[in-house]
Amino acid sequence: MALRPCTGFTISSLRNASAANDNLFSLLSFSSSSSPAKRNLLFSSLRDHLRRFASSASLYRQHLRNQQQQQQQQQSRVKEKSETLAQKIGKSIRRAGAPSKARVYADVNVVRPKDYWDYESLAVQWGVQDDYEVVRKVGRGKYSEVFEGIHATDNEKCVIKILKPVKKKKIKREIKILQNLCGGPNIVKLLDIVRDQQSKTPSLIFEHVNNKDFKVLYPTLSDYDVRYYIFELLKALDFCHSRGIMHRDVKPHNVMIDHEQRKLRLIDWGLAEFYHPGKEYNVRVASRYFKGPELLVDLQDYDYSLDLWSLGCMFAGMIFRKEPFFYGHDNYDQLVKIAKVLGTDELNAYLNKYRIELDPNLTSLVGRHSRKPWTKFINSENQHLAVPEAVDFVDKLLRYDHQERPTAKEAMAHPYFYPIRNAESSRTPRSQ
């Protein structure tokens, strides 16, 4: 009966992270090795323990109020201490006359029936919550808590993603996208959707991947390994793009790799969105170090090419052994870090092409920089990875102008992946 306690945990952890979490995880770790009888008793007591917090939504609302007050107080202290240049920066201005449209898959959702992309009208079919039990916590994000779990009847491992309180349409969007992508290459499989009857907290059940932390795994990867896994990731991206979907949060944390099985899965589709040409999207997506320039200069009619920039940042971090590759302290500094590598001449050309005017304070903050050669990042520790084809590939990906970046399919055809394509073709049986 593990999901019920955990749905309470999402609220209890917010209510009392230190005390409740220590109790919870000591109990959870004990439960995984307990006998069935003891485990049932344990989960009953755990349910009672956590539902004291989940029984009243006012606790969570009070937490939010307290959190907002703390944030306001902290912001006030920072402002009093020093009003930095970044705090004076306003939004960029986009002049009419230079619209942007995806080079490929632009009309996928135009020609498909409305019920393919109209996630707000989705009627969610809820599964049986009692079919799953929690084993241990494996991660947390802004919108969810993630646990390793098991299916109660067959003991098959799974991953349980418990969603924090967000707008219903955001939950429906993630579910609809995962359903549309079901069976795609290297896309994490959504197995079930359940909801606690009392707290109404939804949970998504996914296939389990025996992932190794990228900070541990990446330094051990060979040149061939990097080529292989980036190629596998491109398969997932081309598939989702061909289905009219932008991931919008590509980063190492969202790429699960089971190195023993040489299996990769692209996860966390919570920020993913359907692409419609001409639509203006929220620029507050992707994680800072992987945000494309289009997000940092407030270009809202971006497209699938955003995912290729994020992949480029991830790839650069892998081949140059520099993680993260662009290490900005905030969104404005992120643009500065990019400009110090790619130069400001090309940035200005990009802004002029799309008729974007930066706030003068941001222009001042960015300054003027010449382009830094990629060879400057090569050293004795990474030269076995930063081979000429790899450097050429990263150069193709990390372009200010999103329309100059290769599509996922074009990227897969790059010479860097010749050994991978060659190996795949040799494994594919030829027709008689």
Predicted local distance difference test score (pLDDT) of residue 9: 36
**Topology of the domain covering 214-424:** Transferase(Phosphotransferase); domain 1 (1.10.510)
Closest CA to 258 of 270, 267, 248: 267
Residues 381-422 pLDDT 10s: 999 999 999 999 999 999 999 999 999 999 999 999 999 999
**Mean model confidence pLDDT for the chain:** 86
Q: Tokens 């029984």, residue? A: 55
pLDDT band at 101 (very low <50, low <70, confident <90, very high): very high
pLDDT band at 53 (very low <50, low <70, confident <90, very high): very low
Residues 300-322 pLDDT 10s: 999 999 999 999 999 999 999 99
Q: Which of 77-81, 135-139, 419-423 has the highest mean predicted lDDT (pLDDT)?
A: 419-423
Residues 11-32 have a mean pLDDT of 38
Predicted local distance difference test score (pLDDT) of residue 19: 37
Q: Which residues are catalytic?
A: 249
Residues 149-187 pLDDT 10s: 999 999 999 999 999 888 999 999 999 999 999 999 999
Residues 116-134 have a mean pLDDT of 96
The residue ranges of every structural domain in the chain are 119-207, 214-424
- Give the global pTM: 0.83
Q: What are phi and psi of 245, to 5 degrees?
A: -125, 130
Q: Is the pLDDT of residue 353 over 90?
A: yes
Closest CA to 342 of 382, 292, 298: 292
Q: Is the pLDDT of residue 70 over 90?
A: no
The class level of CATH for 119-207 reads alpha beta
Q: Which residues belong to the annotated binding site for ATP? A: 161
Predicted local distance difference test score (pLDDT) of residue 75: 59
Predicted local distance difference test score (pLDDT) of residue 147: 96
